[in-house]
Amino acid sequence: MSDASKVTEGGYGGEPGPGTVLLTGGAGFIGSHVRRLLRSQGTPVRVLAHRADVDAADTVRGDLADPASLRGICAGVTTLVHAASVINGSEEECRAVNEHGTAALVDEARRAGVRRIVYVSTAAVYGEGVHRGITEDAVDPAPVGPTSSSRLAAEKLVRAAGGTVLRPMFVYGAGDRWFIPQVASLAGYLTASLADGGSRLSLISVDDLAEAVGAVAQLPPGEVDGEVLHVTHPEPTPLAEILEVLAENSLTAALPGDAHERTVAAMGASAPRRLRLLTSDHYYDSARLWRSVDVSCGPGFRTAFPRYAQWYKDAIAAADKAS
């Protein structure tokens, strides 16, 4: 009997739950939290790893940039959680991994009879704009740059295979090297932008995002198949509140005096676009997701952030020491 023929409504081999999960991006910011969550729930997890120095009992070798290396990777798997993406790479790198790698991965999933595919994408595929509480089908995506363009291409491949696409916007928590560090380092500039009332942004903690990913992965077949779901806290967070909370937790005080200049320089040509993302409304209606899963959206930013404050302080100190 083939592996594909063993897949049942209840999971691989008739077991309840999602059966064996193949997780890509398991060493990354979001994927590492999904990995810990699934393992804490007793879910068998197989992590796709391409680095030669990764050696763990739950890892298998494969490289999204090398489709041939993925052959057979989904054998015995009932659920694929695809949380790997190249971010800020060249157009060639983004297409090779995000688009062509996803195509090869989806082909393997189909070949093995995988029951559910969940892809962690980003609301950045909508492009710049000003987005105020839009639903998943209210605005056509208009990605800017190779990262978002290739991730939108990956979304289309996943949905064509009956998979589910998740779109978070700004994610914070242990492992975040972009959102909170940039907001904190740009505090002076961003505070000046509040003269117009300040922007409202869709946030979610990485732990609440992982809970949502795990919950979608365990939904019965037929539910949310082929759909796009926003994964954000239901209430947008004002930029002014974010800056207040960071100050209350001594994050801005922990930064060097030239933090603003360093951050803008590191952004390079993308600086104007990234600043616009932070200073104009970007929040999304996530009701469809929270109606579909039996997990909590978690507390708002002001309540949730303090548990991550020390991690950010340590990360900022380490980055400053290394520079």
Q: Residue 253 has what pLDDT? A: 72
What are 213-262's pLDDT values in tens digits? Answer: 999 999 988 899 999 999 999 999 999 999 999 999 999 876 766 676 67
Q: Residue 12 has what pLDDT? A: 29
Kindly state the tokens that stand for 107.
């082909």
Distances (CA, A) of 89 to 8, 92, 182, 231: 39, 8, 19, 24
Kindly state the tokens that stand for 86.
């190249």
Q: Sort residue 145 into left (φ over 0), alpha (ψ -120 to 50) or beta.
A: left
Q: Residue 4 has what pLDDT? A: 32
What is the distance between the alpha carbons of residues 93 and 45, in angstroms, rounded to a whole number?
Answer: 27
What are 9-48's pLDDT values in tens digits? Answer: 333 233 435 689 999 999 999 999 999 999 999 999 999 9
* Entry pTM: 0.90
> Do strands 7-8 and 11-12 pair parallel, antiparallel, or not at all (unpaired)?
antiparallel
The mean pLDDT value for 288-306 works out to: 97
**Strand (E) or helix (H) holding 81:** strand 79-82
Whether pLDDT at 186 is above 70: yes
Whether pLDDT at 134 is above 90: yes
- pLDDT band at 267, cuts 50/70/90? low
Nearest Cα residue to 115 out of 225, 210, 26: 225
- pLDDT band at 55, cuts 50/70/90? low
Q: Residue 252 has what pLDDT? A: 85
Kindly state the tokens that stand for 312.
């950010």
Average pLDDT, the chain: 89
- Domains delineated in the chain: 4-175+203-233+282-298 (3.40.50.720)
From the CB of residue 38, how many other CB atoms can be counted at a distance below 10 Å?
26
Q: Residue 194 has what pLDDT? A: 81
Least confidently predicted of 1-15, 44-58, 208-222, 281-295:
1-15
- State what percent of residues in the chain have pLDDT above 70: 87
What are 149-163's pLDDT values in tens digits? Answer: 999 999 999 999 999
Give yes or no for a contact between 206 and 177, defined as CB atoms under 8 angstroms apart: no
- Top pLDDT among 320 and 242 is at 242
Strand, helix or coil for residue 36: helix
